[in-house]
Amino acid sequence: MRPLAMLPEMLLLAGALVCLLGGSFTPRRRQWRLRVVAALALLGSAVAAVVGGASGPAFEGSFVVDGATTAARVVVAGATLLVLLLAGDEVAGDDRESETYCLVLLAATGTLVLAGAADLLVLAVGFLLASIPLYGLVGLRRTARGAEAALKAYLVGALFGILLLLGVTLLYGVGGTSSYPQLAGALAGAPLVPLAAGVVLVVAGVAFEAGAVPAHFWVPDAAQGATGLAAAFVTTVPKVGAVLAAFRLVEALPDVLAWGVLVAVLAVASMTLGNLAAFAQDDPRRLLGWSTVSQVGYLLVPVAVAGVSDLALPSLLVYLAGYAVTNVAAFAVTTALPDVRDLSGYAGLVRVRPGLAVALVVALLGLVGTPPTAVFVGKLTTATAAWDGGMAWLVVVVLVNTLASLFYYLRWVAPALRRTEPAAGLASVRPWSAWTAGVAAAVSVLLGVAAGPLFAALDVLPPG
């Protein structure tokens, strides 16, 4: 059974329980200790993932530990650690501080369960464990906008969670198994209508966790209405598990219908709608919310050629790592300047906060896919995987959307680099968030330079 195969997930869960129980006995002014506990749990999870031993199936094949799972564990731990740094400015001393750390660790645990799920039932459990804490995180900001965002996330999540469970039921009903290794053979002779309906419903459920069309409605509201810490987390970390879950599912399905085309359509819809909606946004966090929807579209490109191109999985992992740190860097800039909630409010940032301006430029141009950032490497290799998998038309769509996205990112960069009289909101800066933005931006560049050696060390690159 290899019970220690899920030691990284167990450490996160244990950390969440310590934060939950410890919050009841720790004075408010000393709850920073629980942040240390959460950080140690994340560090322990990452270390356990790297030195955890042999790969292979665990728990009767319902969970798989491989290079992709290891990469997901490291990326989730690293991105969540960066998010926790924002807590020093946003939730330190708050009466919900311990609950925040608990919810973050629980959602991270669910994300890792999604990433390694090799069984439809485990996929459903991972979905619930990753989703339910998100509703609480989004609603921690006790404002009208935060309440609206939490309600929308809950309603959309509940709907698509039901659809996912219905899809799992259909696939189990026509195949007689929920295990991925057995799905291809069990579903090969299944009736096409219930098979197609089951797959569509499961993919739709995973789309909620990823923030992809058609389950994207909650993402911009959460990015705008939640705290900066929660917004950075929910638009970054759950995507890692959701996209990997979609990849594993598509790879396990029998080749009786064009599943890749279904995913490609979702990818095109997500990247195009996200970009079009972002054009008119003036609130930086809402802009990043729509940017998240478009980025998920790019992340789905290698999923469309899962099992067809050898480059699909490594390119996806590179992109996930790059997107995680780059997106956190962008949100950290908005958290560092809490009084600026309009793009024009960043005018003159380079004059008074040059380091923060550099971090913003690296993050936003990184999200476009500008070298030498990690997203550039990820976007280039995912496009190569799509071309290799026979979807040249999808590469063209990625290129067009990438060029289109440059417009709204430059709408933010331009005033920040303009040497005019600084806007009033730039007077005060939160130090923890400013440092987080700088560190995350630097890591984005470093990952771009060292992407090949890093993932070769994780044993996820294809042979040769």
pLDDT tens digits for range 346-376: 999 999 999 999 999 999 999 999 999 999 9
| Residue 58 bridge partners (DSSP) | 63
Residue 450's pLDDT band (cuts 50, 70, 90): confident
Residue 3 CB contacts under 8 Å (≥ 6 apart), including other chains? none
Q: With beta carbons less than 8 A apart as the criterion, state whether 255 and 272 touch.
A: no
Residue 142's pLDDT band (cuts 50, 70, 90): confident
Range 298-316 average pLDDT: 94
pLDDT at 420: 79
Q: With beta carbons less than 8 A apart as the criterion, state whether 287 and 203 touch.
A: no
Instruction: Name the range with the highest mean pLDDT among 22-26, 156-160, 371-375.
Output: 156-160
| pLDDT at position 178 over 50 | yes
Residue 304 CB contacts under 8 Å (≥ 6 apart), including other chains? 250, 260, 261, 263, 264, 267, 386, 389, 391, 394
pLDDT tens profile 266-284: 999 999 999 999 999 999 9
Domain locations in the chain as residue ranges: 312-464
> Tokens representing 273?
């709608």
pTM for the model: 0.95
Mean pLDDT of the chain: 91
For the chain, give the percent of residues with pLDDT over 70.
96
Number of other residues whose CB lies within 10 A of the CB of residue 269? 17
pLDDT at 3: 65
pLDDT at 200: 96
pLDDT at 462: 39
Residue 339: what are its φ and ψ, rounded to 5°?
A: -85, -5
Strands 63-65 and 56-58, by their bridges, are antiparallel
pLDDT at 460: 46
Number of other residues whose CB lies within 10 A of the CB of residue 58? 19
Instruction: Please tell me the distance from the alpha carbon of residue 308 to that of residue 74, in angstroms, as a whole number.
Output: 26
pLDDT tens profile 117-133: 999 999 999 999 999 99
Coil vs helix vs strand at 52: coil
